[in-house]
Amino acid sequence: MKVANATFIKQCVTLRGHARFLKDPVSIIYTNCKLLLIYMFRLVCVNCGAEFLPDDIIYRCRKCEHLLTVKYDLENIEVNRAEWDRRPMRLWRYRELLPVSREPVTLHEGGTPLYHLKSIGKELGLKELYAKHEGLNPSGSFKDRGMTVGVSMALELGMKTVACASTGNTSASLAAYAAKAGIPAVVLLPAGKVALGKVAQALMHGAKVIAIRGNFDRALEMVYDICLSEGLYLLNSVNPYRLEGQKTIGFEVIDQLGCVPDRMVLPVGNAGNISAVYKGLCEFVELDFIDSLPMMTGIQAAGSRPVVDAIEQNLDMVVPQADPETVATAIRIGAPVNAEKVLTAIRATGGTADAVTDDEILAMQRDLARKEGIGVEPASAASVAGVKKLIESGVIDRDERIVCVVTGHLLKDPETVIKQCESPIEIDADIESLLSVLR
Ligand code: F0G
């Protein structure tokens, strides 16, 4: 057994092209000059700092059961921003900061538009209010960023079946990416509480769709247990690799805006997305690409607000809420799995959390559709509704540059849309009838 020196590792990295790299060269082992392992990242516990190899199939720390995160050897990863700029604005443009080394399973995710909300901004007295429309990803939500990375990692790790619990979008996305990868997907949904478009997607893409008579939190507990006992690969946001994909929302915002926004506002359910964006931006700081972080601000629904309570009451942990309820079914979650990560993201950046009522959410869904031409599902509108509330309560300054992430497309939840709108005007098929309704 020999210990590799830095030059050797560099040669191996060059040879393999896609190889991964471990910060501490003394832990590289090779026999007969054949490289066994080169890692450029490892899994690290956010609580006790224990480290695990990247190909360990674990979702929580083996020592203390807390969440894991992916830690890169940023000092040794070569990231050339000019090279990034030459690549198309898509998620894989940031591949050096993603864990996948194989050809990714991709449906061309990322590169979503950043819209300047001029009308709503004007009404709120905000000159710089933007919305990053994640509903324009392939399956209609930001989950595709997580799944292109998560499903690629599933293949890289040799996993044969992928699984998740979902309020809808995760299942739609997982089903699509599993189809692309040619592997089976199993999804658990809370029966009767998932928007129609999302169930339709999961079914059509060929996942095994199981509706449980219980809520999302219970579905997640069940799928977690089954993944551990049956060897399925879990792709909920407790999976640190999935969150790697989602962090690219923050990267794109920086590249599209050309600067760091003062605040980023995201709807919060399981709290994976806001934590992922924060994590990615911390990497940008470490790489000296930016020198400040936006105030990370999480918005929940009034009937489903465990993170808001923890922030307001300055608690060390999020106390699960037993019966969450909201029209924004995507964020109808009482026990967010990424609780410890979201508290760090909000507190470390001087951000905040607040809750908006279902009426406020639906009013903003209509405003986005009618004043900005942006069609989103209710959970997504929560972020902009939250900005309105925080402006009115004086928490947000009017000179802030704010980016809201709107997370899913309007067509995800057609029933909630139809309920809010008047029915089409039906007429006889003649010009006279047409003119009479136009007048
Ligand atoms: N917005 C939409 C449209 C979502 O689908 C979700 C989560 C969120 C916001 C909240 O993101 O959980 O990372 O805080 N949907 C998950 C699902 C739970 O199963 O589709 P989060």
Whether 166 and 216 have beta carbons less than 8 Å apart is answered as yes
- Taking CA atoms only, the protein residue closest to ligand 1 atom 4 is 330
Residue 6 clears pLDDT 90, i.e. is over it:
no
pLDDT score, position 369: 98
Q: Which residues of 274-306 are buried (b: 16+ CB within 10 A; e: fewer)?
A: bbbbbbbbbbbeeeebbeebbbbbbbbbbbbbb
Residue 201 clears pLDDT 60, i.e. is over it:
yes
Nearest residue to 192 (alpha-carbon basis) of 211, 173, 207 = 211
Percent of the chain with pLDDT over 70: 91
pLDDT score, position 177: 99
> DSSP strand E in 37-138: where?
41-45, 51-52, 68-72, 114-116, 128-133
Substitution candidate for ligand 1 out of 407, 409, 410 with most atoms within 8 A of CB: 407
Q: Which helix (H) or strand (E) holds 34?
A: strand 34-35
Residue 1 clears pLDDT 50, i.e. is over it:
no
- Phi/psi at 406 (nearest 5 deg)? -100, 120
pLDDT score, position 207: 98
Residue 25 clears pLDDT 50, i.e. is over it:
no
Length, in residues, of the chain: 439
- Taking CA atoms only, the protein residue closest to ligand 1 atom 7 is 330
Rounded to the nearest angstrom, the distance between the alpha carbon of 71 and the centre of ligand 1 is 24
Domains of the chain from N-terminus onward: 6-76 (no CATH), 114-140+242-420 (3.40.50.1100), 143-240 (3.40.50.1100)
- Taking CA atoms only, the protein residue closest to ligand 1 atom 10 is 269
- Longest distance between any two alpha carbons in the chain, whole Å: 90
Rounded to the nearest angstrom, the distance between the alpha carbon of 60 and the centre of ligand 1 is 20
What does the pLDDT average to over 343-351? Answer: 98
Nearest residue to 112 (alpha-carbon basis) of 131, 91, 134 = 134
Whether 353 and 346 have beta carbons less than 8 Å apart is answered as yes
Q: Which two tokens stand for residue 31?
A: 């026999």
As a whole number of angstroms, the distance between CA 434 and CA 439 comes to: 9
State the average pLDDT for the chain: 92
As a whole number of angstroms, the distance between CA 268 and CA 338 comes to: 10
The residues near 32 (Cβ < 8 Å, ≥ 6 apart) are: none
pLDDT score, position 196: 96
Rounded to the nearest angstrom, the distance between the alpha carbon of 202 and the centre of ligand 1 is 15
pLDDT-derived band at 267, boundaries 50, 70, 90: very high
Residue 15 clears pLDDT 70, i.e. is over it:
no
What does the pLDDT average to over 303-322? Answer: 98
Q: Which atom of ligand 1 is nearest to the CA of 134?
A: 3
- Phi/psi at 405 (nearest 5 deg)? -95, 120
pLDDT score, position 38: 64
As a whole number of angstroms, the distance between CA 171 and CA 393 comes to: 36
pLDDT score, position 4: 36
- Taking CA atoms only, the protein residue closest to ligand 1 atom 19 is 166
Instruction: Give the pairing type, strands 34-35 and 29-31.
Output: antiparallel
Q: Which of 17-26, 87-96, 374-383 has the lowest mean pLDDT?
A: 17-26
SS3 128: strand
As a whole number of angstroms, the distance between CA 74 and CA 399 comes to: 34
- Strands laid side by side in the 34-35 sheet: 2-3, 29-31, 34-35
Rounded to the nearest angstrom, the distance between the alpha carbon of 382 and the centre of ligand 1 is 12
Rounded to the nearest angstrom, the distance between the alpha carbon of 407 and the centre of ligand 1 is 8
Q: Which of 4-8, 80-84, 303-307 has the lowest mean pLDDT?
A: 4-8
Q: Chain centroid to CA 419: how far?
A: 28
Q: Which atom of ligand 1 is nearest to the CA of 379?
A: 1
SS3 181: helix
Interval 26-46: pLDDT, tens:
344 443 444 445 678 999 999
- If one counts every other C-beta atom within 10 angstroms of the C-beta of residue 211, the result is 15
Q: Which atom of ligand 1 is nearest to the CA of 271?
A: 14
pLDDT score, position 11: 41
Ligand 1, residues at Cβ distance < 6 Å? 141, 143, 166-170, 237, 267-273, 330-331, 377, 379-380, 407-408
Rounded to the nearest angstrom, the distance between the alpha carbon of 93 and the centre of ligand 1 is 24
Rounded to the nearest angstrom, the distance between the alpha carbon of 14 and the centre of ligand 1 is 39
pLDDT score, position 389: 98
Q: Residue holding tokens 């994909």?
A: 245
- Taking CA atoms only, the protein residue closest to ligand 1 atom 9 is 267
Q: Which atom of ligand 1 is nearest to the CA of 173?
A: 20
Whether 410 and 375 have beta carbons less than 8 Å apart is answered as yes
Q: Which helix (H) or strand (E) holds 402?
A: strand 401-406
What does the pLDDT average to over 176-180? Answer: 98
As a whole number of angstroms, the distance between CA 170 and CA 176 comes to: 10
Task: Please list the residues that pair with 402 across neighbouring strands.
Answer: 129, 263
SS3 317: coil
Q: Residue holding tokens 């956010």?
A: 46
pTM, entire model: 0.92
Q: What is the DSSP annotation of 218-263?
A: HHHHHHHHHHHHH-PEE-STTSHHHHHHHTHHHHHHHHHHSS--SE
Task: Output Rg (C-alpha) for the chain, integer angstroms.
Answer: 22
- If one counts every other C-beta atom within 10 angstroms of the C-beta of residue 387, the result is 28
Residue 7 clears pLDDT 50, i.e. is over it:
no
Substitution candidate for ligand 1 out of 198, 210, 331, 411 with most atoms within 8 A of CB: 331
Rounded to the nearest angstrom, the distance between the alpha carbon of 430 and the centre of ligand 1 is 46
